[in-house]
Every structure is written in structure tokens, then in C-alpha cells.
Structure 1
Amino acid sequence: MVKKIDVPASGKPFKNNANYCVGTGRMGLALQQEYVEHLKLVQETLHFRYIRGHGLFCDDMGIYREYGMDGKTSTFYNFTYLDRVIDTYLENNIRPFLELGFMPEKLKTGEQTIFYWKGNVTPPSSYEKWAELIINTLNHLIDRYGREEVITWPIEVWNEPNIQFWAGTMEEYFKLYEYSAKAVKSVDERIQVGGPAICGIDTERWLRSFFEFCIEKNMPLDFITRHCYTANEPTNRGHYIYHTMMEPTRMIDELKETRKIMADYPQIANMPLHITEFNSSYVPLCPVHDTVFNAAYVARILSEAGEYADSYSYWTFSDVFEEMDVPKSVFHGGFGLVALNSIKKPTFYTFEFFSKAGNEMLYRDDNLIVTKGDDRYVIIGWNWHDMRDGKTAPDKDYVLTIPSIGKQAILIKKEVGGSHANPMQTWSNMGKPRTLNKEQLKILKASAEPLQTDSKLFEQNGIYEVEVKIPCNYLCMLEIIPVKDETETYLGYDPNEFYGLK
């Protein structure tokens, strides 16, 4: 069934925050060469403003140290690696969205850890020393990068304290937040700080309790953070963890729910809401992350999330990531937009397409958005379906009538799906090699590019008519750009002599 849409000449602002922030693994990964290569690749096209990850205070970053001499213990703050990491970020035109965590070995109160790299998740042995760690770190950053720069870096207190990322109680997290937020503001009142950085478990109780604590204690609080994942319960099978997915609108519903809870507190209601992690699956061993399905699925989220959230940080930009051990092959279900060996995954293009969207939204439904910028239209379409049911979803067919912005235009279409921008399928066709030789890598990089086609578009009675077909598990972007036809300036031009040129 073809859906006919008369696109209006004007619309409303498109609240598009897709490129505000992106996730990384722990901060120490930025010391690896391939990580830096991936960051450069992403920033050349996607231009994320902020990057947020774990492990600022973990021992692999080496910041907090204690030394004994003559019966006395002295604290030493070592910023050697932190400087390298932040330098790398800034060199690639991205700023840190700092997460305060996890616990340094010398401040821990227990042995509970998370991940392959064993981030300690226990409360500090001294909240005063924890606060001093924050103060000294921020003062160092100001000394090195300048106060006016550092005050633009948001700070989030801890990560998902409502599950196993925090070994303490809710009340102990609130105490950690109090010491942390006050420490931040003691350095400079203008630095923005927030929390509670929860995931979608026991959400309402945690949010209300946190809000009420901050209001009652008059705590510094500049923004609210939480995480959103849309996977059902996992099934473990050897090297993989499999999920079925909820509808992508589940995340939109969670954002609405969060805003509704915030609205009950006048002091909180209008604060920024930052989703500091989101994805389909919440584990880095789920094949969904590497698929064209995921590209189309995430597009539905990006089309509407900005109505409710000030940012939504895709977890993560790179498969240089070690939460569940070192990756076992180029495609292993990792979170990243970029696979190992700098191969772009399908969802990379979801963010590229939305980075090109116009700032005015003219039309939107569950499979299509039409936007307008200063000099062009940008249309993005998607059609996701979990094909494990043995079926394919029908194509989504549209005929759009769009007010013209010039007598003649070029219509450029990029498609992700099928055999285009689907390198995992090519890797499978190769026999799923664990490591790649140079020829295989060249083939895979070529297979990771979208199909691009173009055609001439002429106005008829002040409109363009555009047909859009979106097959199952495809993502597409159409750009309509006015052109000036200079054919008449070519003396002797005869189209019949150009062997089929149109």
C-alpha cells in the first residue's frame, strides 16, 4: 500500500540531539592506537560534541595513589594518563562529559568489582578523600585547559547505582552525590553536575527519592541523567548473548515517563534530561549491534527522542571495548558504531543521516521524517523487522509531494540494507574469519559503504513528486538540493552524442 503525503511548506523545529554526546568504554582505552583511529573516523563525519565513559578514577588511569614514608601516608595525584586522554579528545574536537567513578583501590571499602577490567564499585573509605580527589582533578584540568573551557564539561556522579554498579545502598549513593556535587561546585559554581545515572530498573522510586533528597538538602543539581536500553531478557549461548527487542518506542515511553515524574517537582521539572547511555541491547556480545536491523531500529528512536531529552548518548562509538573480555573477532556483537579494523557498521549511517537532517521538521511518522534546512530537504526513512520469525516485513512505500525550492534539483539517495553497508554479511560470506588479512579488510571496508544513486528532479506546478520505497531492514536518506543548470553554456552540446547521458 502506497502512502501519499502532501508535505507542508513549513513545520516546526526538529529537536535533533543525535550528535550531542556519544559513549565510550573506560577512559583508559583512549591510550590505544586503534581507539584513536576510530575516534578520528567518527569525528570526521559525525561531529559529536561530547564523549562519556567509565573509569576516570580506576587504577588503570593512575590518578589516585598513596605512598608511605617515615610512618606517614601521603596522597599523590598523577595526571599523566588523564592528560593524554583529554588531549586526544580535544584534538578530535570532542569534549568530555565526565563520569565520576569508579573507586580507586586505595579508597575502596570492599572487593566488589564490575567487568573484565574490574572496576571497583564500593563506597569510599573516606568521603572527604573522595571529594579531595574530585577537587584536585578538576583544578588540574582547569590549570591545563583553562577555566572557561573546563566549565563547559558536564559532570555526572557515578554510573547505574540502582544495580550492581554500586555496592552501597541508595542512601549511600545520595551521600556520595552530596560530597561529589559540593566538591564540583567548590571548584567553580558554573560547572554543571547531575545524576542519578540510573538504568531502567526501579526507575520511579529511585528518581523520586533522588529528587526529594536533592530538594530537601538543597543539593547542587543542574541536570538529570538516566540510561535506556530496549532489549528483553538475555539468553547466553557460548560466545554470544542473544536478545529479542521491545519496540523502539519503548525508549520514547521511558523518556515520557521520566519527564512526567520530573514534572511533579517544580524545582526539577524544566531541568535538562541527558540519556547518558542508550542502545538496543545492553551487552557487548549481542549480534544485533552489527546488523542493518539495528540501523533502522535506532533511526526510529532518533526521530523523536529529542522531543523529551536534551541528549541521548549512543553506547558506544567503537568496538575497542573490554567490558566482557577482549573482542574475539571483527564482528562479535560489540556496541560500537565502528567495528575493529575501522569498519563502519550499519548504525554508523543512522547517525550520519541524522547529522545531516534539517532544523525544521515538516512531516514525521513511524517510518519516515521529512526535514528542511537552509538549502535542501533531507528525508530519512527506515523499516525494521526482527526476521527471526522467518518472515519479512512489507516494503514501506510513499509518494511525497513537496513544495519546490527551485525549478531543478538533484535527488541523492543513500541506502543501507541488503548487500549495501552490511559488512557483517560480507564477513559471513568470507567464512567468518577471526582475523583479517589485507585483502579481506579491503573487501569489508568497501562492503561497508551505502548504495548511492541520484537523479534529476524537476518542479511541476510548484512541487516535487518523490517516490520512496523502504524494504525490510533498510535505512535510507534522500537529499533534495537545488541546482543551476548550465547546459546552455556548453557550445555545441548535443545530448545524442553522449552515449545515453540523460
Structure 2
Amino acid sequence: MTVEDVARERWAQLMGAGGAQDRAPGEIVPADLPAPGELVANGGRGHVTVDWAPVPGAIGYAVHRATSPSGPYEPVDHGGGDVLAVPHGPYADTTGEPFREYWYAVAPLGTVTSMGPLSVPVAAAAHSGGPAEVGVTVAADGDAGLLHRPWRAVVGSEHLSHLLSTDTSGGRPIGAELTAALRRVRDELGVQQVRAHAILCDDLGVYKLVDGEPRLDFSGVDRVYDTVLELGMRPVVELSYMPRDLASDPSRTVFAYQAIVSPPRDWDRWSWLVRELTAHLVGRYGLAEVRDNWWFEVWNEANLSVFWSGTPEEFWRLYDETARAVKAVDPGLRVGGPASAAVGWIDDQLARKSPVDFVSTHTYGSPPLDLRPLAGDRPLLWTEWGVTATHGSEVNDTVFAAAFLLRGMRSAAGRVEALAPWVASDHFEELGRPPRLTHGGFGLLTVGNLAKPKYWALALAQRLGDTELPVTLTGDGAGGLVEAWAARSGDGTVTVLLWNTTLDHAKADGDAELDRAVTVDLTGLPAPSYRMTRWRVDATHSNVAARWHTIAEGRDWPDERQWAALRDADRVAEAEPSRLLEVRDGAAAIAFDLPMPSISCVELVPVT
């Protein structure tokens, strides 16, 4: 076997691990792409940063490593548990041993099941100890274009009938708090749409057989979608799961609420249901509203057998029937998919003769790949994305997850229409309702609607102005560990958002070797002085899980006194009191420590 054959075989094994692609082909085929050029690997304190020249047509890159130039080369596994590829360089490898020389090579991906050849390998080694500094230069008078905010398009949520629930979790009202959570992400983060499973499930009573004849009732859907629109949001209509009386095998279910994942027993009635629902939505909310602002997404992760008990061929029939049914109401309505796990089936989706108005897929543990070479001009909606797909993982409540969100949003800006964090609220019951306040829930907000670090990450990103500013990073870990995003507002406010993180889940709790000292140099500042405020998200700041652990007293849920204390602390923390920053010749410098993981946001408001 060649070096490339070995690398593709190992990639196939990794893609199958944990069920990430349990319907994917077992063979990773060669992609008609050249090997990346200009590969460089630089060792720093606690890491090796690898970078390369982009390959036209590649959707991403698999970074490989070996202990000798002849191999064998294995994909670097940073523990994300999904697609262990990145959309671009630089990539910081923090999984190796200090002072041990490794050989790095990078392969381009045509799809997640097609890989090009490895690059010419280069060698580097991480070191340990000593100083590590990063310089960040921001041109405050520059213009890098309109700042794109991918988090504002869509957020994920529990099945939306949860909005109607009068039950409680942790003594908190489920429906009322989920409604308030969506309102908060709309008002504070600017999120415009919500995507959720199970709008066709039996808890909303959409489809029933009465004396052998089908009856439709959209009153439950109306209550849900009326609530969403009253919040100032729109739904992504995920057409799932199968109503019991229409299912070919009602015993095939998923989740605690027993969503049925089988194909329909009657394809004509499925098409009729979709067509009638679509026509009802158009009639209730208006053709222009639905055509211009709503997306119709077919099913959820059918490339995982847990979500689709039929064959792949049956799913593609479902897609074709569904897309035609939506378009029968109005050709301008937008329908797409495949809403797949781990970026699967994208090429199969685009080969369909039936309409594909947008491409949607999911990934966890890495920034979203660049699907523009496959999708062309079609909108790209990543309708699920996050630090991990594992329910109840402690990493969901951490600062590591917060910095991960910023890395992904910055990477995706300008190349996707939506990058949807999964999910808005810990009021979530796929595998059962929350057992305690900090339980590793997927939510940006806890039960009780307290902001987690990842919520504050997006809230700080929302403070960025509309004009993006040019940023240059230099030093040990620049671009691979430490990243920055800067923008200017219409009133001259300059905001610089910085974070320090790795994709390596083994370092989620931090690693002193990866901490950095940062100096931000600003040039082109027009005002003579600015009021400077700096906010922090780290182990001891803006961290509800850390706060709760100090006052929990062994409890799973707060008592009223503890709820009051947590609500009082529910704000992003200032690193220091705001102060006046003097400018000389249009320049100023700010220095501070940036642990890994952590986030800092510097805001300069001109003083008049």
C-alpha cells in the first residue's frame, strides 16, 4: 500500500468511529485534487502550528502526523469525535509530546469520503517552558468589509412543542423558560430563526387515522409557530418525524419522546401531508412571508440509522417526494437538505434531480468545512454545530466551548448563511430532562436562563461593529492558538475580541503551557483619548458553572437564595475598571494575559 492508501484507510476508520457516518461508504476514494503546497510547521511552547497554501476545490484538510518521514501517517485526532478535519490553516497540534520531533503532512478533502494526496512532509517539535507572547496589530482606520455574523441566522432548540409545556425542570417552568430563552437570544444575540425537530410528531396531533381515513389538525403547529413569530423569529421547518398512524414501523423510535424514524407506509399520504402543511402555513402567514423568510429542511441526519430506519434509497425517495410537495404549493418556497450528520451525503444530495435550494448539514468538534466548491451558489446552512455531539458532556458548560464557538464563527464568516449553535436552552429532553443545573447540557443558557460562557462568547461577538478591521497576529501560537476579530462602529467605537484555545479536548480544562501574554497595538485611532473597557470569560470570570460549584452545597438545583445569587452574577465580567486610554500619533497599546482557554474583549469608545 502507498502512503496515501494507508492515510485513506485510517481516515475511513476514524470517520466510522462513534457512528459519525454509519451509512457512509467503507472506502475513502482518491480525490482529484493536488497535494497542498508551501507546508510549514513551527514548534512553540506546548504546540506545533501547521500551515499550508489552500487547494482550489478542497472543502477541508486532514492534518496527518508521523514519527518518521516515511510514516505511517495518521490523522491528528484532537478528540472532537466527528469530522477531524479543518476548513483551512493554521492548525495548532497540542496532542504531541514536548521535544519529540514529528513529521506533518496535510491531505485535501474533496468530500468527507474522498481524500487527495499527502503533502511533502515537514518536521517540527513542541517545546516546554519559557516565555510565550503574541502580538496583535489592529488598523483602526482600515476597512476589511462588512462584518458577517453567522450566529444571527439560526439557533437550535428542543422540539418546539416544548414551548407549550406546563411541566417543570429543577422547579422551573419549561415552556415559559424556553420561550424566554428564545426571546433572549433574539434580543441580545440578534438570532433570527430557530430550528428544531419533530414538528410532525404525535404530541402536536398533526396526522391521525379516524375510521381508517386520515385527518389533519394543524392547530398545535399554529400555536408553536405563532409563539415563534411573536418572539420576532421565524422557524426552519424541519419536516420530521413520522406520525405514528403514517409510519411503516411505529416501533422504530429515537429520543425520550419516542420520535418515529421509519419511512411512511403510504408515500402518497406522506406527500399529501407535506403539501397540505405547506399550503396551510402559506395561507396562515402569507406567501411572501414564508417564501422570503422560511426554510423547509427534509428530515434530520438520515445517514445515521438511529434517525432513519429505512434504506438510503428510501430516504432519497422521501426527499424527492417532500421537495415536490413543497414546490407544488409555490415554486419559490425554499427546500433543501440533506441535514446530514458529519457532512455526509452532500454530493448525493446535489446529484438529485429534484429541487435543492440550499444545502444543510451538521458537524461537531471542529470548525465547519468549506462546502462552497460542492454547493456552488446555493446557500449553506449548518443547522447543527457545537463543541461535541455527546449528551451530558461537561465540556458543554466550559470556557473551552465558548472559545470554540468564536473560532468556528470567525472561520465561517463570509462563507455560510447560517452556523447554528445546538441549542439555545438546557430545557431539552432528547435523552431525558436535565438532572441538575450544570449537567453538560447543549444549551447556551441553563435551566433558569443563566448565561453559560458560550453565551457570553456570542454576546461579546455581537458587540463588534459593522465594519471589520484588518488584524495581523505574530508570535508563539498566533493564528493557531490565539485569534482576534476586530471591528469599528458608526460612532467610532473600536472593539477587539480575542480568544486562546485549541481544538484538543484533552486540554479543555486548560494547560499552562498554552497560556499566552498578549499585546494589542492599535494604529489609526482618530480621537485623542478613549474610554477603555475589557471583559473576560475564563475559569473565574463569566462562568456560571464555576460560580455554581462554589455555592452548590451538594445540591443538584439551587434553592431560592442560590437562584438569586446566580441571577445577580448573570453578567459578563469586567477584567478591570474601565479607564481612560490616551492616544499618541494615532496609536495605543494594551497588554494583558490570555490563558488557554479564555476570551477577552476590548472596547474603546472615543471621548469627545
Please indicate the TM-score interval, normalised by the length of the shorter structure: 0.7 to 0.9
In structure 2, which of residues 381, 387, 394 is the aligned counterpart of residue 280 of structure 1?
387
Q: SS of the counterpart of 2:150? A: coil
Contact 2:138 2:469 in 1 (8 A): no
Q: SS of the counterpart of 1:131? A: helix
Amino acid at match of 1:183: A
Please state if 1:154 is matched with 2:295.
yes
Please state if 1:457 is matched with 2:581.
yes
Q: Distance in 1 between matches of 2:452 and 2:186?
A: 15
Amino acid at match of 1:90: L
Change (3 A) 1:155 1:45: same
Q: Distance in 2 between matches of 1:466 and 1:389?
A: 24
| Alignment correspondent of 2:339 | 197
After superposition, where does 1:77-92 map in structure 2 within 5 Å? 77-92=216-231
Q: Distance in 1 between matches of 2:411 and 2:510?
A: 27
Q: SS of the counterpart of 1:312? A: strand
| Alignment correspondent of 2:562 | 440
| Alignment correspondent of 1:329 | 436
Amino acid at match of 1:440: Q
Change (3 A) 1:405 1:112: farther
1:390 Cα deviation after fit: 6.5
Amino acid at match of 2:578: D
Amino acid at match of 2:429: E
Is 317-326 or 307-316 further displaced after alignment? Answer: 307-316
Amino acid at match of 2:214: T
1:273 Cα deviation after fit: 1.0
| Alignment correspondent of 1:183 | 325
Contact 1:26 1:54 in 2 (8 A): yes
Q: Distance in 1 between matches of 2:510 and 2:490?
A: 43
Change (3 A) 1:433 1:384: farther
| Alignment correspondent of 2:265 | 125
| Alignment correspondent of 2:361 | 226
Please state if 1:135 is matched with 2:248.
no
In structure 2, which of residues 444, 450, 469 is the aligned counterpart of residue 343 of structure 1?
450
Contact 1:19 1:351 in 2 (8 A): no
Change (3 A) 1:392 1:434: farther
| Alignment correspondent of 2:191 | 48
Please state if 1:269 is matched with 2:401.
no
**CA distances 1:184-233 after superposition (whole Å, capped 9, x unpaired):** 111111111111111116x3xx2222222x1xx3x111110100101xxx
| Alignment correspondent of 1:407 | 528
In structure 2, which of residues 227, 231, 235 is the aligned counterpart of residue 96 of structure 1?
235
Contact 2:136 2:519 in 1 (8 A): yes
1:388 Cα deviation after fit: 5.2
Is 283-292 or 386-395 further displaced after alignment? Answer: 386-395
Change (3 A) 1:414 1:140: same
Q: SS of the counterpart of 2:426? A: coil
Amino acid at match of 1:155: F
For structure 1, the residue ranges without an aligned partner over 5 or more in a row are 231-249, 263-267, 485-502
| Alignment correspondent of 2:600 | 476
Q: Distance in 1 between matches of 2:315 and 2:554?
A: 44
1:104 Cα deviation after fit: 0.3
How many corresponding residue pairs? 445
Q: SS of the counterpart of 2:470? A: strand
Contact 1:156 1:193 in 2 (8 A): yes
Q: Distance in 2 between matches of 1:251 and 1:302?
A: 8
| Alignment correspondent of 1:494 | none
Q: SS of the counterpart of 1:133? A: helix
Q: Identity, % of aligned pairs?
A: 28
| Alignment correspondent of 1:379 | 496
Q: Distance in 2 between matches of 1:61 and 1:400?
A: 56
Q: Distance in 2 between matches of 1:145 and 1:210?
A: 29
Contact 2:242 2:260 in 1 (8 A): yes
Over the aligned positions, Cα root-mean-square deviation in angstroms equals 1.9
Amino acid at match of 2:500: N
Contact 2:400 2:509 in 1 (8 A): no
1:98 Cα deviation after fit: 0.9
Change (3 A) 1:374 1:67: same
1:42 Cα deviation after fit: 2.3
Q: SS of the counterpart of 2:148? A: coil
Is 134-143 or 120-129 further displaced after alignment? Answer: 134-143
| Alignment correspondent of 2:182 | 39
Amino acid at match of 2:553: G
Please state if 1:20 is matched with 2:153.
yes
Q: SS of the counterpart of 1:338? A: coil
1:478 Cα deviation after fit: 1.5
Q: Distance in 1 between matches of 2:134 and 2:597?
A: 18
Contact 2:136 2:518 in 1 (8 A): no
Q: Distance in 1 between matches of 2:559 and 2:497?
A: 35
For structure 2, the residue ranges without an aligned partner over 5 or more in a row are 1-131, 165-174, 473-478
1:472 Cα deviation after fit: 2.6
**CA distances 1:288-317 after superposition (whole Å, capped 9, x unpaired):** 111122112221111111243221100000
Q: SS of the counterpart of 2:521? A: strand
In structure 2, which of residues 326, 341, 349 is the aligned counterpart of residue 210 of structure 1?
349
Q: Distance in 2 between matches of 1:78 and 1:118?
A: 20
1:80 Cα deviation after fit: 2.0
Contact 1:346 1:448 in 2 (8 A): no
Q: Distance in 2 between matches of 1:142 and 1:421?
A: 43
Amino acid at match of 1:186: A
